[in-house]
Structure 1
Amino acid sequence: MKEISTKDVQQRLENGEKLNLIDVREVDEVKAGHISGIKHIPLALLEFRTHELDKKTPYIMICRSGGRSGKATQYLESLGFNVTNMTGGMLAWEGNIE
């Protein structure tokens, strides 16, 4: 499983890079604060919403601490998607949130 640190994600966003971020937390967690520009797909709904994703597009998976996003990364990888887990999740995020 590919992984990326919160610092690397933050740096890439600050450099103006367009990243495809998928937040797999629950609705109330995302409402409490999230990275700008995310696509929100709760982990429990991921298998039903894979049709919304493109296998040619690289995605970075996000959750609270990195556990659920790790599961989502492994699941999507098994289907042939190009995905990377953001280690540490939102607990380690030091960038701006909405």
Structure 2
Amino acid sequence: MFDFLKKLFGPGTDFRALKEKGAVIIDVRTPGEFMAGNISGSLNIPLDALKAQLPILKKKGMPVIAVCRSGNRSAMAVAQLKQAGIEAYNGGAWISLKNKI
């Protein structure tokens, strides 16, 4: 069954490879959530502050992996990032991505 889904939707994103190539991980949770636990080296840019940071992220010219608690806010962040012309990926829940990279 899993192979069927993989063929249907294609392979998943290789977050480890993206990170090794210099992708930036941004955590769009609140500062309090971020302080309670995060991925080492990730940047905390809360979703409501992301718009102001888009020019800086675009200037870096690196892919961005967005994470949050469940994947909902990171999906919204990815939409904003892509609209700004930034290569972006939804890493989903930070704790899950932490185990993948």
Mark yes or no: TM-score above 0.5: yes
| TM superposition shift of 1:59 | 0.7
Runs of 5+ consecutive residues of structure 1 not aligned to the other structure: none
The higher radius of gyration belongs to 2
65, 85, 88: which one aligns with 2:90: 85
Q: In 1, Cα distance between the equivalents of 2:57 and 2:87? A: 10
CA offsets per residue over residues 37-72 of structure 1, 9 Å max, x none? 001100000111112212631110010000000000
Change (3 A) 1:93 1:79: closer
Query: Which of the two has greater helix per residue?
Result: 2
Structure 2: gaps spanning 5 or more residues: 1-11
Paired positions, count: 86
CA RMSD of aligned residues (A): 2.4
Deviation of residue 91 (structure 1)? 4.8
Q: Which has the higher contact order (CA 8 A, sep 6+)?
A: 1
TM-score by length of 1: 0.74
